[in-house]
């Protein structure tokens, strides 16, 4: 039996790239899918119905069930209508994948207020909008004895988990999405829900057109060769996290791509300095902190390790 037989999923931004592969795989695994996509350019401008429509056609042609939705996740009321779309068409909702995203890279000293706001609006506010309505629905259903085993997956990024120059808007929103998954999990696990976050690593419009240095690192795909950077490598983790089998996976953060899944454990104590009684003298405190930082891994070394992974 397929892993997601009988489940209903919403995937936002599922008309292209990572979200498209997630929609196709979830449908192949038996889920009925709401393919949400506003059809925007990578910077968030413009709109088109064809990305979502094309994915729905592809799913139906393969024998699956899907419906398109073109609303923007940035609109709180529209987010509720995306949930209603799942309920009207398929009668319930089990899975929410918050994937929609845009990019407006600038160094902090050049970033306009609009560049900051628009990126935070799609990623962070959009994921809040969707999660808010869906979690209220799951809680209400649970109270009525309807056990839906809700699964929420936020899409985070290396830019947020590890930091990346030029992405102060995007990286800040993406770090917040990892935190939001952990927090939602703590609030919703009593209702049978799990929430986790996945950072993709994949060749998509966002990496090829919007981030030239990543495009250069990924290189070209040879004709006939399977692309090791295909977003199809991200989707299997999301499909499994969405399944009943992943019921004990709570508030975890992963990276996924190139056939590899990284289990990421973030902020954790590596050393402490303490003093009883009176508050520290700042200089004395600084000396002790420096001692420990000198022993441990610095952010620079940690970034060098990431560069290693990136080849
Ligand atoms: N590709 C990667 O390597 C990578 C790395 C880290 C994170 N991510 C994240 O993965 C997600 C998918 O990115 P992708 O690489 O597939 O990019 P993409 O540009 O191919 O797809 C993003 C989709 O989101 C849609 N979208 C944008 N704004 C929307 C809105 N307001 N409402 C609904 N849909 C909207 C776009 O129309 C687009 O189809 C994003 O959240 C991105 O930040 C991707």
Q: What is the domain partition of the chain in residue ranges? A: 8-264, 270-311
Kindly state if the Cβ of 42 falls inside 6 Å of ligand 1: yes
C-alpha 74/C-alpha 136 separation (Å) is: 18
Give distance in angstroms: CA of 145 to centre of ligand 1. Answer: 35
Q: Is the pLDDT of residue 300 over 70?
A: no
CB 26 within 8 A of CB 11: yes
Ligand 1 atom closest to the Cα of residue 122 is: 31
pLDDT one-digit tens code per residue, 143-153: 999 999 999 99
pLDDT band at 101 (very low <50, low <70, confident <90, very high): very high
CB 99 within 8 A of CB 14: yes
- CA-CA distances (angstroms) from residue 74 to 7, 52, 136, 167, 168? 25, 17, 18, 20, 19
Reference 36, options 91, 79, 88; nearest CA is 79
Which of 82-96, 199-213, 294-308 is the least confident region?
294-308
Q: What is the mean pLDDT of residues 38-48?
A: 97
Ligand 1 atom closest to the Cα of residue 15 is: 39
Whole-prediction pTM? 0.94
Reference 26, options 43, 39, 45, 12; nearest CA is 12
pLDDT one-digit tens code per residue, 121-130: 999 999 999 9
Question: H or E stretch including 283?
Answer: helix 282-295
Ligand 1 atom closest to the Cα of residue 72 is: 32
pLDDT one-digit tens code per residue, 217-269: 898 888 888 899 999 999 999 999 999 999 999 999 999 999 999 999 988 88
Measure the CA dihedral 231/233/238/243, to 10°.
Answer: 140
Q: What is the pLDDT of residue 304?
A: 58
First and final CA of the chain: distance in angstroms? 38
C-alpha 264/C-alpha 199 separation (Å) is: 10
The structure tokens listed for 86 are: 């799942």
Q: What is the mean pLDDT of residues 99-115?
A: 98
Kindly state if the Cβ of 237 falls inside 6 Å of ligand 1: no
Q: Is the pLDDT of residue 181 over 80?
A: yes
Q: Which of 47, 56, 100, 213 to mutate to test the pocket of ligand 1 (most atoms within 8 A of CB)?
A: 100
Q: What is the mean pLDDT of residues 70-80?
A: 98
Catalytic residues: 157, 170, 174
Q: What is the pLDDT of residue 309?
A: 47
State which fold the 8-264 domain adopts.
Rossmann fold (3.40.50)
Q: Which of 176, 206, 260 to mutate to test the pocket of ligand 1 (most atoms within 8 A of CB)?
A: 206
Kindly state if the Cβ of 161 falls inside 6 Å of ligand 1: no
C-alpha 37/C-alpha 20 separation (Å) is: 10
Q: Which of 17, 178, 205 to mutate to test the pocket of ligand 1 (most atoms within 8 A of CB)?
A: 17
CB 297 within 8 A of CB 306: no
- How long is the chain? 311
Beta bridge partners of 32: 8
Whole-angstrom Cα Rg for the chain = 21
pLDDT one-digit tens code per residue, 140-180: 999 999 999 999 999 999 999 999 999 999 999 999 999 99
Strands 253-257 and 260-264: antiparallel
CB 199 within 8 A of CB 158: yes
């Amino acid at each position: 039996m397929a892993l997601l037989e009988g489940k209903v999923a919403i995937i936002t931004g599922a008309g292209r790239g990572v979200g498209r592969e997630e929609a196709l795989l979830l449908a192949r695994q038996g889920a009925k899918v709401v393919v949400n996509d506003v059809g925007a350019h990578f910077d968030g401008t413009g709109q088109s119905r064809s990305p979502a429509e094309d994915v729905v056609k592809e799913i139906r042609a393969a024998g699956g069930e899907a419906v398109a939705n073109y609303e923007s996740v940035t609109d709180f009321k529209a987010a509720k209508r995306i949930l209603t779309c799942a309920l009207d068409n398929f009668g319930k909702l089990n899975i929410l994948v918050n994937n929609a995203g845009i990019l407006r890279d600038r160094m902090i000293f050049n970033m306009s207020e609009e560049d900051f706001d628009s990126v935070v609006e799609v990623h962070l506010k959009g994921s809040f909008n969707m999660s808010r309505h869906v979690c209220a629905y799951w809680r209400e259903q649970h109270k009525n004895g309807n056990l839906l085993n809700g699964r929420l997956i936020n899409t985070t990024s290396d830019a947020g988990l590890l930091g990346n120059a030029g992405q102060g808007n995007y990286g800040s929103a993406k770090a917040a999405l990892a935190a939001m998954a952990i927090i939602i999990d703590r609030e919703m696990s009593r209702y049978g829900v799990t929430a986790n976050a996945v950072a993709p690593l994949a060749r998509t419009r966002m990496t090829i057109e919007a981030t030239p240095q990543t495009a250069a690192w990924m290189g070209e795909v040879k004709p006939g060769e399977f692309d090791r950077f295909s977003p199809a490598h991200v989707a299997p983790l999301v499909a499994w996290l969405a399944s009943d089998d992943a019921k004990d996976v709570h508030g975890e953060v992963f990276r996924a791509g190139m056939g590899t899944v990284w289990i990421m454990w973030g902020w954790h104590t590596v050393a402490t300095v303490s003093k009883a009684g009176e508050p520290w003298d700042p200089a004395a405190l600084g000396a002790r902190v420096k001692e420990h930082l000198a022993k441990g891994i610095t952010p620079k070394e940690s970034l060098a390790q990431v560069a290693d992974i990136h080849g």
